[in-house]
Amino acid sequence: MTLGREYRKKSLYWTFQLIGWGSFALINAFFAFSFGKLDQNFFYRVTIFLVLGVMVTHLMRSVITSLGILQKNLQKQVVLFLILTTILSMLASFLRVEAAMRLDLLSSDEQSLLSRPGVKYWISKLVLVLSSGFSFFILFFIWNLIYFVYHYVTKSRKQQLDTLRLEALVKELELQTIKAHINPHFIFNSLNSIRALVDENPQRARKAVTELSNILRSSMHAEKLETVPLEKELSIVKDYLALENMRFEDRLKVEYEIDEDTLNLPVPPMMLQTLVENAIKHGISRQINGGVVKVSSEIRGNYYELMVQNTGQLNGNANADGFGISSTTSRLSLMYGSRGKFDIRQINGSMVEARVLIPIQNEGINNQ
């Protein structure tokens, strides 16, 4: 896989090289044709220029890679790019002048410059190299600018992808951590309920063990998914409330108001059960005469609403303390971002309401 990626990178690099220098040759040929200078010597001169351009820019790329220029800070990159571009421009210019002189391909203007009377030959040649070097410098500077921008954009995209992957991994780990807390939390409270029945009513205790077995079996299957249909979640809730009803007997009254259109809609596994457990623990268990737990669901626009109401008092957010509420808030945030909403409030003097809003569209983990 790494070899394939390296091959694609090299192919892309040479494609850009051919397109860039090929475009340069075509532009020069167009202007030479326009001014009537498209002769055999022109093609020889352009060929020398192109060969030197490709060779020197490839050498420049090797130097950039070997020195790790792209990994340095921006100020050092600019300085090193300018120095490297200047040095290699002069090298390419010197080689071009030497090749043109040996092959007798100098232009008439260049020949006039070398044969200027009263000027030393080496000075004329130096001026010619510097003049040609300026042209190479402009081309190499543009080449370096494109090379730098390409790698900067590629690096930025890679950093963004790495950041997104890291965020997704963190969210996945957080979700797994929350799930790992939910089941032990639920089992602990259920076993306490069963323990209260062992001496008082062994037959009911055995029935409670069966109920707990059903709940654990359902929760183990739910653990494999990020969401489950509300209908499956309700079956866990009903088993749990049946178990708690054996402990509270007449002190616990359960009501359901479920819109059938919501039964197939997805809900995070064990979330509704956690809210019901919270209602029992912080509400019903603290009432001498017990009370009511009401579970309801309905569709509201682009959301569906889950509600758990119970007899009790918030008493300065006492009902909102503990892992159950914090886990609900965290899971909604991780899975749906700002679209998932949760609140718990006192709706009258004796009832507390926990309400969850889950978006119907674009369900699933929100990676935004």
Residues 340 and 238 in one domain: yes
Domain contains 169: no
Laid out side by side, the sheet with 351-359 consists of: 252-258, 291-300, 303-311, 351-359, 341-346
Residues 115 and 242 in one domain: no
Per-residue tokens: 228: 């489950």
First to last CA, the chain: 29
pLDDT of residue 253: 92
Q: Give the CA radius of gyration of the chain.
A: 38
> Where in the sequence is the domain holding 235, given as residue range(s)?
199-359
pLDDT in tens, 248-270: 778 899 999 999 999 999 888 87
Query: Is 324 a residue whose pLDDT tops 80?
Result: no
pLDDT in tens, 329-345: 877 887 888 888 899 98
In angstroms, rounded to a whole number, what is the distance separating the alpha carbons of residues 127 and 113?
A: 8
CA neighbor of 265 nearest in space, from 361, 337, 176: 361
Phi, psi of 62 (to 5 degrees): -65, -40
pLDDT of residue 318: 44
DSSP 223: T
Residues 246 and 305 in one domain: yes
Task: Return the CATH number at 340.
Answer: 3.30.565.10
